[in-house]
Structure 1
Amino acid sequence: MGDFPVDTILALIGIVIPVAAFLWEFVIGGRRRLGYRVQMDTPVTGEVEAVFPGVLTQLRRDAGAHMRDLSIVLVRIENSGTSTIEAADYLAPVARVGLHLRFPQRRVVGMAVTELSDQDLADSLGPNSGIGVREDTGGHIGVIDLPKVPLNRGDHYKVLAILQRSEGSGEYPDPVLLGGIRRGRVTETRSRTGVSRVMLALMAFLVLVIVVQFVVTLVEPRPDPLDCASGKLTVVGSSAFEPVIRDAAAQYGKRCTGAEFVFDFAGTERGLDRVTEAGPDPSLITISDGAKGPGYPALLARPLALSMFTVIVHEDLGVTDLSAKQIDDLFQGRITRWSQIGGPDLPVVLVDRTPGSGTRTLFERRMLGGGRTERPHQSCTAIKDTAGTYCDVPVTKDMHKAVAEIPGAIGYSELAEARKADMRIVTVDGVAADRQRAIDRSYPFWGVEYAYSNGDLPGDSLAASFLHYLTADIGAEVLRAHGNEPCGSALIEPGRCDPNR
């Protein structure tokens, strides 16, 4: 539908029409309105009895009338508008008469005013008020002339008439109240026991507007927010941070429909190498579990989040806590059997990440004091049947698989992914892995995740927009949902995410 604002037009119609209907009904058309309602119109088949106490004695009767083929009519006259009706508001030219209650095919043989909503109305309906009975059009239409009665909002009075057929047969035509009101109208009203037709029509109209708006919303694509960017972005690097990036990209794609993401998480070192070799390319970034080191001078860092890591062990070991010294002794080869630290009599099998892994580098820095015993590469699959005590894996999911399958195994992993894989997580010196404990430094195994690009990113690029989204928009909540704290958060002290620190 192009740039035509259909949804805006429909919204305005949905507001204007009900407001206009209200103003017309209650302010313009219905502000001054005199209504009448026929509450009873029935033939008399037996003796005439008083419906209201004392009414029959008040009836003004035609002395010459033969009391046969009679009917009784009760009419309610009311102020059904929103403004007071004064005597001067009646438009009838006769000085005292304001309304004419007509009964086609019947003549009036008796009448009385039977009910007043306010006793002050009695002064306007007395014998000298102009109220009277007459016949019109050759005696075939009975008429009751009613005076110009002032009526406050909601006031009413009732007229009871005894009528005799003057011509015709069958059912009588309905009584009619004639007259005029200045800046208003005289109209027939009905007792409302349900929803009025006007209200039903208005409700149907509003439902129609809502349905049309819904259809337009489905058919017409919404424009992306102003801070969205389109294009294709390839993200490589850390397998530990892969689930976070995938979830955040999925949320970004829902919001910014012109964005396309490609992933290849083969490890931190491979990611850094790939971005370096590609040269300046705003459509390629890599994620690293820690600072890149001095070997990649062209790469520029953007801190993303404080991330949590944990030590994991084989389920059957029953180990739930290790001290920082025990972890260091295990990975340095000083503890070789679990029985040495209160565990079962099984050999310790160290599952490590391959050299170049950001998670491995972080583990060495945080938990091993920056150094370790060097060991040759061994496949975790190969040592299962050889009673080997060491192996290494390239990515996080392989770490989980090896530790879960090899008895006596110990390794390390990003916290959220270890929990998702249902790994046995151990506390360190009795302190559980927790974002707040990492922030206050009571838990030692944490790191900072960085995004690296080869040179500066253009401000309108998808990479720049996505990285901003990760730390300053809904993406920050994705980071927190995975147990990380976005860099720039008020909880993290200034400089904590500095890659050179």
Structure 2
Amino acid sequence: MGDFLSADNVVAVATALVGVLVSIGVVWYERLVRGKSIGYRVQMDIAVDGDNELFNALPRTPDATLVLLRIENDGAEDIRTGDYTDPDPQRGLTVQFAGRQVQSAAVTQPDPSTLIDHFRLGHDVTGVRHDGNRVYLPRVPLNPGEHYKLLIRLTGGPVNSRVEITGGISGGRVKPNRSVPMDEKPPSFSRPARVITVLLTVCVTVLAAIIVAGEKTPQPRGCATGELKVTGSTAFAPAMTAIAKAYEADCPDATITVQARGSEQGVRQLSETGDALRKGADAPAVVAMSDGPKPDGSYPGLTDHRAAVITFALVVNDDVPVTGLSGPDIRRVYSGDITDWRQLGGPDLDIKLVSRSADSGTRDIFRRRILDDHGEPAFTSRDCRTRNSPSDKVIRCELDSTAEVLRTVAAVPGAIGYGEARAAATSKGVRVLSIDGHAPGTEGSADPAYPFTEIEHAYTYGVPRAGSLTASFLDFALRGEGQDVMAGGGYPPCYAPDVAARCGS
């Protein structure tokens, strides 16, 4: 009897009794109280800085705001498309903003990612529509715990104005949830249920400490362990660095290292590393980012994953009073036919071409999109200021990264170069040029006629093994929370419903 009344057994019996009671209570709560329910909450409501605008297809307004809204099935039963009671067969819910007008709305981070298909009414038609101060959402089926988010740009009113979602659910309700920070999970139970859960947790924790003290805490669901390297594009490196930090915050046993060396070099090294492995070995834990696709037929062992739309910009030293160039003038500059800014209405000053190295995806896009597939002049300068030889017709240097190009253009009088649009727009000492009268946006080029854009690609060697860090990180980056990071950085993610057609996915 004394052995039975040991501390281990007493705690175990007490835990079992509490567990039985909690199980009964949870079943009662889930089935009789929660039922069918759609909950919503505002996770972010901020003013948009006029000097750092998102959604640049829209006019700049001093009172622009950005709202991130989470919509979830917080009930105990599935919600099917037929459960919505709106008389419009293509409408499920209506979001209304008091005192503000909707300018743009996009779906982001559906969980599971397959929900994204329910926001497309056709190949090029999205089910997310807006009119005035309302956003209309399609009938999206949601299992318990599933959710999606809306990123909405508004104007005409202050932040934290009232937001309401209306719509009918047969046998259920649509209601606001407690507002929580963007990355915090909503509470699974009501206050009484949470109190009971806490009691059970205390008992289980004590028992676990007695029996398996020191056992390592398992990784969160969806996480993987190990080390992964992200290489390739220097233009997209800031976005991948931010996504890597977000993944490591959720999955502390993973280490993601971003080592940008240029698109072509990253893709080539990934292919060579994978080809060198013995047959049957795991593929290298490497993701190579590329500005634009790899050449057709090259690197057959690589698998393509389309990531986002990326925009580039032509920039000049801020002292050059030129605001835009035509396509023909740009091609004459980069063919060496125009060598002085005076020929383009500027000062009597040599034009100095600050270019990227041959491994650069940005350079290849510039060649294809702007130079009509013609190459740039030969390398003629080591310091981007003087000619290597007096006989050189034009001054042209080559640098290894977007950041180096922008710094050099800002420092060298008469310099012209190119780089990622968001980095160019925020760099001091450079002026962003329009091309044929069209200005680059920092949201994947809001102007569809702007030519200097491309799709950012993520390459892996083969198809990542299920459960591997490569597969987990790509899912996080392209279909999970990484979409919010890309959208916030000005890169419309390819898995967003209004961008998928543009990405060809």
TM value normalised by structure 1: 0.54
Unpaired stretches in structure 1, ≥5 consecutive residues: 17-205
Matches within 5 A, 1:427-442: 427-434=434-441, 438=445, 441-442=448-449
Match of 2:403 in 1: 397
Alignment pair present for 1:339 and 2:342: yes
Amino acid aligned to 2:270: V
Alignment pair present for 1:451 and 2:454: no
Alignment pair present for 1:410 and 2:416: yes
Match of 1:90 in 2: none
Amino acid aligned to 1:380: D
Matches within 5 A, 1:295-334: 295-334=298-337
Equivalents in 1 of 2:258, 2:496: separation in Å? Answer: 27
Alignment pair present for 1:274 and 2:276: no
Equivalents in 2 of 1:402, 1:367: separation in Å? Answer: 21
| CA separation of 1:222 and 1:318: change in aligned 2, threshold 3 A | farther
Deviation at 1:299, TM superposition (A): 1.5
Tell me the secondary structure at the aligned position of residue 308 of structure 2: strand
Match of 2:503 in 1: 496
TM value normalised by structure 2: 0.53
| CA separation of 1:222 and 1:419: change in aligned 2, threshold 3 A | farther
Equivalents in 2 of 1:343, 1:440: separation in Å? Answer: 27
CA offset digits 1:368-390 (Å, max 9, x no partner) = 11113441363235738989621
CA offset digits 1:138-192 (Å, max 9, x no partner) = xxxxxxxxxxxxxxxxxxxxxxxxxxxxxxxxxxxxxxxxxxxxxxxxxxxxxxx
Amino acid aligned to 2:233: S
Matches within 5 A, 1:41-440: 224-279=219-274, 281-293=283-295, 294-376=297-379, 378-380=381-383, 383=386, 389-422=395-428, 423-434=430-441, 438=445
Report sequence identity in percent. 33
> How many aligned residue pairs are there?
305
| CA separation of 1:384 and 1:418: change in aligned 2, threshold 3 A | farther
Amino acid aligned to 2:229: T
Equivalents in 1 of 2:258, 2:500: separation in Å? Answer: 32
| CA separation of 1:367 and 1:350: change in aligned 2, threshold 3 A | same
Please say if residues 448 and 497 of structure 1, whose CA atoms lie closer than 8 Å, have aligned partners that are also in contact.
no
Equivalents in 2 of 1:298, 1:382: separation in Å? Answer: 42
| CA separation of 1:493 and 1:440: change in aligned 2, threshold 3 A | farther
Amino acid aligned to 2:421: L
CA offset digits 1:441-490 (Å, max 9, x no partner) = 22111111111122221021111111121121110111112211111222
Amino acid aligned to 2:332: D
Deviation at 1:360, TM superposition (A): 0.2
Match of 2:134 in 1: none
Q: Whose RCO is larger (CA < 8 A, sep 6+)?
A: 2
Match of 1:484 in 2: 491
Equivalents in 2 of 1:469, 1:350: separation in Å? Answer: 39
Greater CA deviation, 296-305 or 219-228? 219-228
Deviation at 1:350, TM superposition (A): 0.9
Please say if residues 357 and 394 of structure 1, whose CA atoms lie closer than 8 Å, have aligned partners that are also in contact.
yes
1:467 is aligned, of 459, 464, 474, to: 474
Equivalents in 2 of 1:482, 1:221: separation in Å? Answer: 36
Structure number with larger C-alpha Rg: 1
Amino acid aligned to 2:374: G
Tell me the secondary structure at the aligned position of residue 375 of structure 1: coil
Please say if residues 338 and 346 of structure 1, whose CA atoms lie closer than 8 Å, have aligned partners that are also in contact.
yes
RMSD: 4.0
| CA separation of 1:384 and 1:402: change in aligned 2, threshold 3 A | farther
